[in-house]
Structure formats: structure tokens, C-alpha cells
């Protein structure tokens, strides 16, 4: 067992390894604040993989020597919650580099990723470069999301990376997990992971992105019993949980946004927004939801991965380097939203496509387990061999 620290947590921990948003029952406290609950998925999933006695947060907003001395004496390692940290606008907390430099315990990057701009090459600040080199020096390997992230770090002279994907994929600690498709005509309940937010910085074609998003959501909702799975957007939270005034304000803001007004909202989307929205500040609620679905698909990295980790089929919609890298790392069936072809579900409902995911997941599970082992991190991931032996004994 170990005493550990998390760097940049996302939510409060309860029942040892479960995560929900801070003071989640106080709706008004955070209804005007956008927090991507997908980050909490990663935090929750990381804790479910690790073996530890005590968990605390590493303070990186300010440096205090006495605090660092206590950490070095009392804790075994610190892990950086996996997220999209490697990009040109990353704003690290003020004392990050100073704190990391003074630590004498390992610093474990746990599924971190890089984000490419829509055009041109990724350029990192000198501070970010120093931070990543410091983390690399304090661990055996860095666990990264995929090949693109490994290439970005290689260009910084950081060669000790291991591609592990994301802890969310392995949250149920099942080395034999696989997706077996039922007949498509048996599919009834479908979750759509939504992302209406879009930026010219990451999207080469905002209009195509929004129009295709709209048309896809409407088409799937005509065919199936759907739920629109949000991940923390302020206006949608207000529509679900707000006062009458807040709901009216949110509806107006959504429909006065120039891009959404032109290319996203119409009578069909308005009706779906009134009837099908869903959101929770508790990670366990998402897991319960995806387990109840026959299919989950759409735009959210971690919403889709939560489904796959529970053996629910999922198809990714790729719109930037992050989604493309995720799909590549796990060989997940993936539709490019900027392609010339419309999305046709039947073209992706192919067991051969999902066998590629099944094989790749098997390999990535091993990679994640070896990553934890080589960094001397106690964990709860059984090996493939142990699982098969246990199954034979049970039989």
C-alpha cells in the first residue's frame, strides 16, 4: 500500500476511489461554472487502478519548503491526472515548476495528451518544456495518450514515453474485455455524447462541424430512443437544473450565438434539447447510464470511452488531433466529421472493425499494467495470465 498525491485533481473523492464534482448537491454553487466532467472520469478511473492507503492533493499554486519537505518524507509518489496538458495555451499554476523541482519522490504522468492546432505546428512555452522535462526526469516512463503525444515529447528530447491511452479504458480492470456487436435491429437505447462547443483554433471548418453534428443527432434520434449526454456546459446545466429565469437566460444565449443560430439550432434540435438532455456531476451516474445503453456514440472522448470500458459499443467522431489520437491508440471505429461522406451507422456496425479494438485493447491493457509496474506503482490490474488461471479454477 502507498501514500500518494494527485496533481490537478478534478472533483472530490468519496468511498475511497469514487469521484464527483465538489459539493455536487449544491446546484447553484457551480451552475454557472463550466467543468468538463470527463476530467473527473479520468481521475475516478485512475484511482480505480491504483492501490493506496492515503490520497492527498499536491499544491502547485504556491511553493512552501516545509510542505515539500513533509511530502518527501511521507508520500511515495505523485501522479498527474491524465488530460490535455500539452498545447500552446496551457497555463500552469504559478509554482508548478518550483514544486516539481524540489520533489524527491516520483512524478507519474498518467495518460497525458498533446493537442495540435488546426493549422501549423504545436509550439510550447519555455515553461511547459521545462515542466515536461522535469517530469520525465522524475519517472521511469511517462504514460501518454498516443503516438502524436509521444512525437511531441520526443521533439523536446523526452524519449522515455510509453503509450497507454487513458485510464478510463481500464477502469473495470478487465484484461479480457471485448465488444461483441448484437444485431443492429435489436438496438433500441442510444446515448449521444454531445459537443456543440467548437473553436477555429482546433476546427478547420466550423460550419461543417456544427451542421454535421446537428444532422447526426437528429438522424440517430429519429431511429432510436436517445439521450443527449452533456459534460458540464453551463447553458445545458441551466436548462436542466436552473431556475425559471436561468432556463430562459440559457435558451436565449444558445439561440443568440451566431454560429449556433446559423448552423446548429432548428426546430428539430430545439425539440431534442427540451426533451432529451442529460447531465450529472457524479461519475458513477455516467457509468450506470452507459451500462443501460445498447450503443453510445458521438463527440466526447471520455463519454465514449466510458461506454467501451463497460463493453457497450461506441463509435468515435473525430474532429481534432485528440479524438484522432484516441481512436488510433485503441483502434476504435471512427468517423471523420470533415469527410465528404455523411455518417452511416451501418458502415460501422461491423464486428471486424470492433475486433481491431478488441485486439488493441488487449495489448493496451498490458501496456498500462507494465507502465505501472516499471514505475513501481502499486496497482489493482490483474494480468491476462492470472485472469485465465482464475477462470479455469472457477470452472
Q: Tens digits of per-residue pLDDT, 371-380?
A: 999 999 999 9
Q: Does some domain include residue 202? A: yes
Q: What is the mean pLDDT of the chain?
A: 94
In a shared domain, residues 320 and 377? no
The predicted pLDDT at position 203 comes to: 82
Q: 70, 139, 148: which is closest to 110 by C-alpha?
A: 139
pLDDT band at 295 (very low <50, low <70, confident <90, very high): very high
In a shared domain, residues 365 and 346? no
Q: Is the pLDDT of residue 387 over 90?
A: no
Q: Does some domain include residue 79? A: yes
In a shared domain, residues 168 and 215? no
The predicted pLDDT at position 386 comes to: 55
In a shared domain, residues 255 and 340? yes
pLDDT band at 105 (very low <50, low <70, confident <90, very high): very high
Please tell me the distance from the alpha carbon of residue 195 to that of residue 186, in angstroms, as a whole number: 27
In a shared domain, residues 213 and 340? yes
Q: Which domain holds residue 308?
A: 184-351
Q: Is 218 exposed, middle or buried (0-12, 13-18, 19+ CB in 10 A)?
A: middle
Q: Does some domain include residue 393? A: no
Please tell me the distance from the alpha carbon of residue 378 to that of residue 79, in angstroms, as a whole number: 12
Alpha carbon separation from 371 to 49, 105, 330 (Å, rounded) = 12, 17, 16
Q: Which residues contact 135 (CB under 8 A, 6 or more apart)?
A: 80, 100, 107, 109, 142
In a shared domain, residues 199 and 291? yes
Do β-strands 314-318 and 334-336 pair in parallel, antiparallel, or remain unpaired?
parallel
Please tell me the distance from the alpha carbon of residue 373 to that of residue 26, in angstroms, as a whole number: 40
Relative orientation angle of helices 321-330 and 301-309, to the nearest 10 degrees: 20
CA 142: distance to chain centroid?
Answer: 18
Number of independent structural domains in the chain:
2
Q: 351, 348, 352, 318: which is closest to 333 by C-alpha?
A: 348
In a shared domain, residues 142 and 219? no
Q: Does some domain include residue 204? A: yes
Q: Tens digits of per-residue pLDDT, 317-365?
A: 999 888 899 999 999 999 999 999 999 999 999 999 999 999 999 999 9
Average pLDDT over residues 168-180: 97
Please tell me the distance from the alpha carbon of residue 117 to that of residue 33, in angstroms, as a whole number: 25
In a shared domain, residues 27 and 139? yes
In a shared domain, residues 71 and 204? no
Q: Does some domain include residue 82? A: yes
In a shared domain, residues 66 and 203? no
In a shared domain, residues 166 and 190? no
Give the DSSP letter string of 99-131. Answer: HHHH--S-EEEEEE-B---SSS-----HHHHHH
**261 — phi, psi (to 5°)?**
-65, -40
Please tell me the distance from the alpha carbon of residue 77 to that of residue 106, in angstroms, as a whole number: 5
Average pLDDT over residues 370-393: 79
Please tell me the distance from the alpha carbon of residue 235 to that of residue 145, in angstroms, as a whole number: 30
In a shared domain, residues 254 and 233? yes
Q: Is 258 exposed, middle or buried (0-12, 13-18, 19+ CB in 10 A)?
A: exposed
Q: Does some domain include residue 247? A: yes
- Give the CATH number for residue 167: 3.40.50
pLDDT band at 59 (very low <50, low <70, confident <90, very high): very high
Q: Does some domain include residue 17? A: yes
Quick check: helix, strand or coil at residue 279? coil
pLDDT band at 395 (very low <50, low <70, confident <90, very high): very low
Q: Is the pLDDT of residue 293 over 90?
A: yes
Q: Is the pLDDT of residue 393 over 50?
A: no
Q: Tens digits of per-residue pLDDT, 218-256?
A: 999 999 999 999 999 999 999 999 999 999 999 999 999
Please tell me the distance from the alpha carbon of residue 106 to that of residue 110, in angstroms, as a whole number: 12
User: Other CB atoms closer than 10 Å to residue 61's CB: what's the count?
Assistant: 9
- 373 versus 391: which is more confidently predicted? 373
Q: Tens digits of per-residue pLDDT, 122-166?
A: 899 999 999 999 999 999 999 999 999 999 999 999 999 999 999
Quick check: helix, strand or coil at residue 246? helix
pLDDT band at 121 (very low <50, low <70, confident <90, very high): confident
Residue 114: left if φ>0, alpha if ψ -120 to 50, beta else—which one? Answer: beta
Please tell me the distance from the alpha carbon of residue 348 to that of residue 342, in angstroms, as a whole number: 12
Q: Does some domain include residue 179? A: no
Amino acid at each position: 500500500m502507498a501514500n500518494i498525491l494527485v496533481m490537478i485533481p478534478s472533483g472530490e473523492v468519496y468511498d475511497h476511489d469514487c469521484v464527483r464534482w465538489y459539493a455536487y448537491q449544491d446546484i447553484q454553487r457551480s451552475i454557472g461554472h463550466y467543468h468538463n466532467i470527463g476530467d473527473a472520469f479520468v481521475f475516478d478511473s485512475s484511482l480505480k487502478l491504483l492501490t493506496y492507503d492515503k490520497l492527498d492533493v499536491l499544491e502547485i499554486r504556491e511553493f512552501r519548503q516545509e510542505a515539500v519537505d513533509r511530502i518527501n518524507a511521507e508520500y511515495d509518489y505523485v501522479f498527474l491526472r491524465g488530460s490535455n496538458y500539452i498545447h500552446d495555451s496551457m497555463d500552469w499554476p504559478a509554482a508548478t515548476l518550483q514544486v516539481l523541482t524540489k520533489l524527491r519522490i516520483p512524478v507519474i504522468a498518467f495518460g497525458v495528451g498533446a493537442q495540435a492546432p488546426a493549422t501549423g505546428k504545436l509550439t510550447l512555452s519555455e515553461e511547459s518544456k521545462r515542466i515536461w522535462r522535469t517530469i520525465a526526469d522524475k519517472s521511469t516512463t511517462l504514460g501518454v495518450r498516443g503516438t502524436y503525444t509521444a512525437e511531441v515529447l520526443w521533439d523536446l528530447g523526452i524519449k522515455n514515453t510509453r503509450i497507454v491511452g487513458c485510464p478510463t479504458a481500464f477502469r473495470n480492470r478487465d484484461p479480457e474485455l471485448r465488444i461483441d456487436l448484437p444485431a443492429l435491429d435489436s438496438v433500441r437505447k442510444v446515448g449521444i455524447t454531445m459537443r456543440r462547443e467548437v473553436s477555429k483554433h482546433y476546427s478547420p471548418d466550423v460550419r461543417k462541424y456544427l451542421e454535421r453534428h446537428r444532422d447526426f443527432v437528429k438522424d440517430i434520434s429519429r431511429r432510436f430512443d436517445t439521450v443527449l449526454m452533456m459534460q458540464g456546459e453551463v447553458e445545458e446545466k441551466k436548462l436542466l437544473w436552473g431556475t425559471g429565469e436561468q432556463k430562459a437566460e440559457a435558451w436565449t444565449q444558445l439561440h443568440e450565438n451566431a454560429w449556433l443560430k446559423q448552423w446548429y439550432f432548428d426546430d428539430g434540435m430545439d425539440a431534442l434539447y427540451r426533451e432529451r438532455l442529460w447531465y450529472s456531476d457524479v461519475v458513477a451516474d455516467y457509468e450506470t447510464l452507459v451500462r443501460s445503453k445498447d450503443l453510445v456514440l458521438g463527440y466526447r472522448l471520455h463519454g465514449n470511452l466510458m461506454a467501451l470500458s463497460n463493453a457497450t459499443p461506441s463509435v468515435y467522431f473525430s474532429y481534432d488531433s485528440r479524438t484522432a489520437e484516441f481512436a488510433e491508440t485503441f483502434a476504435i471505429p471512427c468517423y471523420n466529421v470533415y469527410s465528404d461522406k455523411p455518417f452511416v451507422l451501418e458502415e460501422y456496425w461491423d464486428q471486424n472493425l470492433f475486433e481491431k479494438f478488441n485486439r488493441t485493447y488487449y495489448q493496451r491493457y498490458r501496456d498500462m499494467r507494465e507502465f505501472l509496474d516499471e514505475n513501481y506503482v502499486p496497482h489493482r490490474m490483474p494480468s491476462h495470465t492470472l485472469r485465465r488461471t482464475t477462470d479455469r479454477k472457477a470452472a
